[in-house]
Amino acid sequence: MSAVIDWRVLQVHWRELLMSSVCQLRRLTMTKGELNRMNETAPIALQEERTAKTGSFAARAYSARSATSALAPDSVKRRTPGPQDVQLEILYCGVCHSDLHQVRNEWERTMPTVYPCVPGHEIVGRVVKTGSAVKKFKEGDTAAVGCMVGSCGVCESCRLGLEQYCEKIPILTYNSEDKVLGGVTYGGYSETIVVDEAFVLKVSDKLDPAGTAPLLCAGITTYSPLRHWNVRKGQKVGVIGLGGLGHMGVKFANAFGAHVVQFTTSANKTADALRLGAHEVVISKDAAAMQKHAASFDFILDTVSAAHDLNAYIALVKRDGTLTLVGAPPMPLPVSSFGLIFGRHQLAGSGIGGIRETQEMLDFCAEHGITSDIELIRIQQINEAYERLLKSDVKYRFVIDMASLK
Ligand code: NAP
Ligand code: ZN
């Protein structure tokens, strides 16, 4: 197993599972030089060997060749669709901050990046081919792929529709072991992708396809914890960070009837936060403004991608309230025990969402007219988009128009 995603960073038992996989163990015994050589050669060698059994074809993509190189045009292999497979022509792909963490190997200690890395797990496309056993899709349908393309299917989590917590580790859309072709999986910064129909989602005609792409990660990653912690009318709910995840969190918390407070470091996002559905906005650098909300929240969702002070937010949660992390900064964040003890506060984490819940979220969005607020870019602007993400300068999700790759 080469790598996993964002949400596992914070879960030690998952890390242990990860460590137990054969590939990971091999990696751990390798020096950096050996690892780099393997990144350059092994996926291709493995692909050649297994491709003898499974057909493949070349697809245009954008990849990073190292942690410090810019994303650039590349070609990757996709498998010839098997009986259960759906092939999508990718129309739009959202740009998640996880793509940036992964491309730059910022999660190296937990899940090293295998290069070349083709990121992208917010995919909306048109079905161009279906295998003989495919039931849900036909040519011409609009369909979507999110952060996972497979899982064991038999463990308790998978049976409950919680594939993101698969005990054997789900196969992620990129930088995960490709069990068919060998090497690693390649994501949505590409013209096409082939995925088992069980991991392909239906997209209603009511939804704008470009604004739908970010729902596949930013959408489900915020919808799932808000549902799990039963956010509802009568509750006071906070969302920290107004980026890709944050702006979806605000929309959903508002749609579920909560009183929503947006925490932001960017005062210039105040009007947007209110337009997106926040009832109040707090500039988190203002200690007095923060203090006014002490011990008052039922639930706070933390979407921040960089180091920040969790204790300042634990202090805002009321007795038995919860602060849930979905943001995955690369570094550990210190937590004061007393902040949790006084008030029986709960600190939790949440990872994307299962396939069933992702479909439920997409259907909810179609019913309620919810999509992401996007900045449509050409693939050639991707490196500039990453630099802007680092400056918290996105309104509120970059989406790549994949026609620009042709
Ligand atoms: P994003 O669009 O870059 O948004 C992150 C926001 O965090 C920024 O817009 C900014 O909001 C705030 N922020 C950034 N640096 C900060 C700092 N130093 N201190 C305080 N606030 C800061 O990123 P995203 O795509 O939403 O992803 C957010 C995080 O979630 C990433 O770490 C990503 O890897 C992770 N993620 C996790 C999962 C999961 O399954 N758990 C899934 C997807 C993504 P303001 O300008 O409003 O302050
Ligand atoms: Zn993501």
What would the pLDDT profile of 89-130 be if each residue is shown by its tens digit?
999 999 999 999 999 999 998 899 999 999 999 999 999 999
Counting beta carbons within 10 angstroms of the beta carbon of residue 28, is it exposed (0 to 12), middle (13 to 18) or buried (19 or more)?
exposed
> What element of type H or E holds 222?
helix 218-228
pLDDT of residue 37: 37
Q: Could you report the per-residue pLDDT of 6-18, keeping only the tens digit for each?
A: 333 333 333 333 3
Most informative mutation of 303, 395, 399 for ligand 1 (most atoms within 8 A of CB): 303
Q: Which ligand is nearest to the CA of 119?
A: 2
- Report the alpha-carbon distance of residue 178 to residue 67 in Å, rounded: 21
Which of 323, 343, 321 is CA-nearest to residue 333? 323
pLDDT of residue 8: 35
The closest residue, in CA terms, to atom 34 on ligand 1 is 98
User: Does the pLDDT at position 60 exceed 70?
Assistant: yes
C-alpha–C-alpha distance, residues 60 and 378, integer Å: 14
C-alpha 404, offset from chain centre: 23
How far apart are the C-alpha atoms of 235 and 261, rounded to whole Å?
11
The Cα–Cα gap between 187 and 199 comes to: 14
pTM: 0.90
Instruction: Quote the CA–CA distance of 315 and 340 in Å, as a whole number.
Output: 8
What secondary structure does DSSP assign to 80-140, as a single string? PP-TTEEEEEEEEEE--HHHHHHHTTTTTTTSPPPSSB-----EEEEEEEE-TT--S--TT
- Centre of ligand 1 from the C-alpha of residue 127, in Å: 31
Q: Phi and psi (nearest 5°) for 244?
A: -60, -55
22's tokens: 């054969």
Which bound ligand lies closest to the C-alpha atom of 303? 1
